[in-house]
Chains A and B, each alone.
Chain A
């Protein structure tokens, strides 16, 4: 009897053990980042790689990181960029996603592929032409200039199209019979059901633009308009000689902290909403 129970539980226990091991492996870069950010001798020592925290933690690395730029301003600018961009994108991708998923019109497939082209064009090829356009629009050295190339999102449109396609048509048909106009159907019927799609898109959009480096570097000149990753570059892009791992770790934590805190706080709600409404792709 006992042996039976053991035999039944053993695979489960082994699975948990394996899972924990993988999770530890996955988390180890972060563990090291946290430990290293509080470690003195941040440029390297024999025990630099140890995951065990030191007995004499220091805030020196964070002080150095914070002092190399005006981080308060960087946070505000970055926040303005990601939220402003996301607001515009939500409108453009929902409308376009709806059109591609639900409406029939001549040239639909061709237009859809034309949208997808945006995903294929690699960023280095875009720097100079897009910078010219941004200058022509009078948006050089401004936050809208950082956002403008991304106002239309093929990825978001694609994601919303898939989300709308996966939704049952019954509700909208009922609403249409009741005489509701298309925008009321989208706003009151489809969008609430498509929220997980928007959330999935929001994660990509926010993390991508929160973390973007090269394009903001090209557009922004005024220190007043600089974003977080440009501040971070002060530790990551040094060419000659040294790497200060402690400051780098502290800087990385400073940059990713708001996103990580937001994810951990809303993790349940947001994964659940993702899960229970089924973006199946």
Chain B
């Protein structure tokens, strides 16, 4: 036992010795960040944080790479429960409602008040679609950092071969079906979309919004509109793509499978995130183009992405240091640089006024299309029990994609399940009457 204790102590001493020397006046904070697309993003983030640490003396940020989005949420919550809450976390933006309800993250309003600004003034520069996910119950909880929307990617060579004009990608659902039929050939699929958990919910939101719908109540966490005509139409559309038009394969394909099929020329049109733009630009060997998500009723897409949140349980110095770091990370310059590196949107509109950004957009017309779609963007669903409520729909749509259920039944069952999940919250809020 003494040996173990000594081993522990000496190893601990070793670890301490390895930490960078820090002056006493400096506030040390932890920043948890996930890597959403590629490994090299972790390196870039570490570089950014190093840059920040060298730029000033008051705050020392320890950048902690924490796996995927889900791992990051898990680690941050576990650390908070164990009494070591991280100061700043880059968190998937649709977790904000749940994390506020569970008491994990803190309101950023006091910082705004201290700077004598208002929420509206602060959010002014951010794209309007981002506001709903940043604000929970009327208070600012997250600062958007990188964002995405779904985008239609198509194989230009296949278009030419099928006698389609690559300059005129499908704009409506009808045109999508039409093009898909011409493109599907042998083991090549006309159209493919990721249908694993998380991605499917987001894309069903995109399709139901393109069909005029809302998916959820942006201002109240206890309502989703799964069994409404907009979602029913979207579900039937997916069902038809598989079973009627036969331009999409039966069953579920995960995002990794979709991008690989696209690169391999086995899928002619795919729906993927704008966050994959750099990845596709670097890896697609054939000609490709990008276009808006096709519409049935209107053009509309959901926002996705991550925002910076602060965990409760910080010292006063820790809070100030965290906010200072968030402000640095979300300047138009930093956001613009990160956007060019990753392919995500910069959430600040002013980032696009910078000359580097203008030059970048001019050089990459695909990024221009993604940017042009932004005015049509709407908030990402974020409800009470976001993950479970989303999964309620996904499980049913997946069953439909496997031919186990019809669209009409699927959306009805999904709504029932979601209502059950949200009932505890609804009963404590909207149905709690005087």
Which residues from chain A contact B79 at a C-beta distance below 8 Å? Answer: 131, 218
For chain B, residues 27 to 41, give those with C-beta under 8 angstroms from any C-beta of chain A.
30, 34-40
Report how far A217 CA is from B70 CA in the complex, Å.
12
Report how far A235 CA is from B275 CA in the complex, Å.
16
Instruction: Please tell me if A120 contacts chain B, counting CB pairs below 8 Å.
Output: no
Q: B264 contacts A44, CB within 8 Å?
A: yes
Q: B42 contacts A68, CB within 8 Å?
A: yes
Report how far A168 CA is from B262 CA in the complex, Å.
64
Binary per-residue interface labels of chain B (343-375) against chain A in the complex, 1 for a CB within 8 Å, 0 otherwise: 000000000000000000000000000000000
B: residues with CB less than 8 A from A are 4, 7-8, 11-12, 15, 18-19, 30, 34-40, 42-43, 46, 62-71, 74-75, 78-79, 81-84, 148, 198-199, 255-256, 259-266, 272-273, 275-276, 279-280, 282-283, 285, 304
Known: A41-B283, A218-B78, A221-B64. A141 touches B15 (CB 8 A): yes
Which residues from chain B contact A44 at a C-beta distance below 8 Å? Answer: 259-264, 283
* 7 closest A-B pairs by CB: A241-B276, A68-B39, A234-B39, A44-B260, A243-B256, A44-B263, A43-B283
Report how far A268 CA is from B35 CA in the complex, Å.
42
Instruction: Please tell me if A175 contacts chain B, counting CB pairs below 8 Å.
Output: no
Q: A144 contacts B12, CB within 8 Å?
A: yes
Q: Select one of B12, B36, B82 contacting A131, CB under 8 A.
A: B82
What's the minimum C-beta distance from A19 to chain B, rounded to whole angstroms? Answer: 33
Report the contact-size class of chain A (Cβ under 8 Å from the partner): 35 or more
Instruction: Please tell me if A239 contacts chain B, counting CB pairs below 8 Å.
Output: yes
Q: A225 contacts B259, CB within 8 Å?
A: no
Report how far A177 CA is from B205 CA in the complex, Å.
80
Instruction: Please tell me if A274 contacts chain B, counting CB pairs below 8 Å.
Output: no
Known: A138-B12, A241-B272, A242-B276. A224 touches B19 (CB 8 A): yes
Q: A151 contacts B67, CB within 8 Å?
A: no
A-B contact pairs, 18 of them (CB 8 A): A44-B260, A44-B283, A65-B39, A69-B39, A84-B7, A131-B79, A135-B84, A142-B8, A214-B71, A238-B35, A238-B39, A240-B275, A241-B273, A242-B38, A242-B259, A243-B256, A244-B39, A245-B260
Report how far A88 CA is from B71 CA in the complex, Å.
30
Report how far A217 CA is from B261 CA in the complex, Å.
32
Instruction: Please tell me if A223 contacts chain B, counting CB pairs below 8 Å.
Output: yes
For chain A, residues 24 to 43, give those with C-beta under 8 angstroms from any C-beta of chain B.
41-43
A: residues with CB less than 8 A from B are 41-46, 48, 64-65, 67-69, 80, 84, 88, 127-128, 131-132, 134-135, 138-144, 148, 151, 213-214, 217-218, 221-226, 230, 233-235, 237-245, 247, 251
Report how far A218 CA is from B79 CA in the complex, Å.
7
Which residues from chain B contact A241 at a C-beta distance below 8 Å? Answer: 37, 255, 259, 272-273, 275-276, 279-280
Given contacts A41-B283, A221-B30, A234-B38, 5 further A-B contacts (CB under 8 A): A43-B283, A68-B40, A127-B74, A151-B4, A238-B39
Report how far A144 CA is from B6 CA in the complex, Å.
11
Report how far A243 CA is from B7 CA in the complex, Å.
40
What's the minimum C-beta distance from B106 to chain A, rounded to whole angstroms? Answer: 20
Which residues from chain B contact A243 at a C-beta distance below 8 Å? Answer: 256, 259-260
Which residues from chain A contact B273 at a C-beta distance below 8 Å? Answer: 240-241
Of chain A, the residue at the smallest CB distance from B266 is: A46
